[in-house]
Structure 1
Amino acid sequence: MSVDFANPQRTAFDLTGKVVVIVGGGQMPGDKIGNGRATALVAARHGAEVIAVDLNMAAAQETVDMVLAEGGTAYAVHADVAEREDCEHIFDVVMQRSGRVDGMVYSVAINPPFDRERNEMSLENFNKGIDVNMLGCFYCNSFAAQCMEKNEGSSTGSIVNFSSIASLKNEVGLNIGIMPYALGKCGLNYITELTAAQYAEVGVRANTLMLGPIDSTLGNHDSQDLFGMAADEVDAAYNEVLRLKMGRASSWETAYAALYLLADESRFMTGQQIRFDGGATLVR
């Protein structure tokens, strides 16, 4: 179905009738909103049926309850994205309950525990980080695209993978603790390009949103844990790397960037790595 962008009555970024899966739709406790939850809420506010997927079912259900309280449509699915079978289960459930998949956002990341003083991490924890940050993305991209290619039209679905500028450069510190995250996001970048190339002919798009210093609960918590920062040091450390001096972005801003990539307005964009970083990766 063609989109009449010239129609002055057209509603921009309208996701009405679309089913959007947010992998990582719950979040850890804290006074900030996370990227996955914010994206779920924004997608629902623009008409999408939202599926919040998380290892923490209570957190996913909390996101669902927030969507329902605003009059939206949503439900939760439990999954451990480190397990291929769980990733497949996500999309089996969605196809059975909703009948289609139009959008998928992979908003999952972990920084496994490590010994900061000795700069050591167990092999089990390292592998777990790679499994969640990279392989889970591969599995979810594959299963989501296989669902999307069944849709009719020239643009059959949109995949948005949340990456990080940690896959490009380091500004605030480097240790073994961040390696499964940074390496996983390097792999995620490549997985996105492979997905875009493989499924372009059937109308499935895949793009990476490469996040910089986002003021989220997880971002603040993990920065303190990884680099030994006090809570009041995190903002100052990240503001030092920003070129645009308006402070760190919120997860709401991440969500609206994702909304563009999910919507028909971005139907001519695929295989791209978009830096959403306040200019942090600009050459000085």
Structure 2
Amino acid sequence: MRLEGKVAIIFGAGQLEGRTVGNGKAVALMFAREGAKVFCVDINKAGAQETVAAIRAEGGTAEAFEADVTDEDTVVAAVRTAYELWGSIDILHNNVGVSIAAGDATITDITIESFDRVMAINLRGMVLTIKHVLPIMRKQGSGSIINISSAAAFNNYPYVGYKTSKAAVVALSNHVAIRNAEYGVRCNVILPGLLNTPTAVENRVKKFGLSFEEVVAQRDKEVPLRRKMGTAWDIAYAATFLASEEASFITGVSLPVDGGQSQQIGRQPSPAEVAEEKKAAEAAAATVA
């Protein structure tokens, strides 16, 4: 019960339909399991309601709200409603993000409309949620803001809108952290690597005409740690730590949750090389045994 008595507002608490759980839903469930009251906000209210239903089924407390992070009025309404409902906002978790679904592309192919759409959702949306939650947290003298960036901020990601916006989220988080430390408000950023979530996998199944298994296999082989993607629960565990009092002296931190992807320098090994290394390791283990 590391978040007992806390109120959390999560933007992007719903998820796409898919075979796995999404980041926002996993974080909402984890926060509730740790004792927080969770205000689940999403542009798709049905998705937010599904998350709320899952929380309530486990005995937790949650409410759903429909809002679009590109529309400041709906962001204001979400924050006001959460505060009026429970009297505080202790945790703000910003999970909304988009790439392929908004028409993101390489810099030579991107349209102005797609670039602006990605930036409005991924970056400006976080500016707006923080803008309207900060006065509450400053008045309380405490609060934890957690922003979801991406390993795309530093790796060889092909699409310019997502990479640029997610790099900017890191700068935004640093700015909020240092400018609000005196008020007791912390701000940290998580940089997920390759994850098996509906947004990451199902969108690629649709865009590239591959099977679910083919997309998973392609992404798994790019992850150094065990050659297997992470899950939304890996993000949820990291977010819960940053939201808790265990992280009370941590602010302005960029935390990669990426299976070592951020540590790769230089040419990546081919699948054949990976297989050969694994074969050699197994042979060495057998010899030792």
Q: TM-score, normalised by structure 1?
A: 0.87
Partner of 1:204: 185
For residue 60 of structure 1, the aligned residue among 41, 44, 48 is: 48
Partner of 1:9: none
Distance 1:188 1:88 in 2: 20
Q: Which protein shows a greater Rg?
A: 2
Does the residue aligned with 1:128 lie in a helix, a strand or coil?
A: helix
Determine what percentage of the aligned residue pairs are the same residue: 33
In the superposition, relative to structure 1, how do residues 235 and 147 fare at CA in structure 2: closer, same or farther (>3 Å)? same
One-letter amino acid of the structure 1 residue matched with residue 259 of structure 2: G
Q: Which has the higher contact order (CA 8 A, sep 6+)?
A: 1
Distance 1:122 1:225 in 2: 20
Per the TM alignment, residue 115 of structure 1 is displaced from its structure 2 partner at its CA by 8.9
Per the TM alignment, residue 193 of structure 1 is displaced from its structure 2 partner at its CA by 0.6
For residue 126 of structure 1, the aligned residue among 115, 138, 147 is: 115
Distance 1:226 1:208 in 2: 29
Number of residue pairs the alignment of both structures matches? 264
Per the TM alignment, residue 268 of structure 1 is displaced from its structure 2 partner at its CA by 0.7
In the superposition, relative to structure 1, how do residues 165 and 226 fare at CA in structure 2: closer, same or farther (>3 Å)? farther
The farther-off stretch of 270-279 and 232-241 is 232-241
Per the TM alignment, residue 118 of structure 1 is displaced from its structure 2 partner at its CA by 11
Partner of 1:4: none
Partner of 1:46: 34
Partner of 2:154: 168
The farther-off stretch of 25-34 and 231-240 is 231-240
Superposition CA RMSD, Å: 2.1
Consecutive unaligned residues in structure 2, runs of 5 or more = 266-289
Indicate whether 1:283 and 2:264 are aligned. Answer: yes
Partner of 1:89: 77
What's the CA shift string for 1:28-85, capped at 9, x where partnerless?
A: 1111100000000000001000000000001001111111111111001111001222
For residue 159 of structure 1, the aligned residue among 120, 145, 149 is: 145
In the superposition, relative to structure 1, how do residues 132 and 166 fare at CA in structure 2: closer, same or farther (>3 Å)? same
Contact map agreement 1:133 1:180 (CA 8 A) in 2: no
Contact map agreement 1:116 1:226 (CA 8 A) in 2: no
One-letter amino acid of the structure 2 residue matched with residue 208 of structure 1: V
Q: Which has the higher helix share?
A: 2
Matches within 5 A, 1:93-132: 93-111=81-99, 112-114=101-103, 120-132=109-121
Partner of 2:231: 250
Consecutive unaligned residues in structure 1, runs of 5 or more = 1-12
Per the TM alignment, residue 252 of structure 1 is displaced from its structure 2 partner at its CA by 1.1
Does the residue aligned with 1:210 lie in a helix, a strand or coil?
A: strand
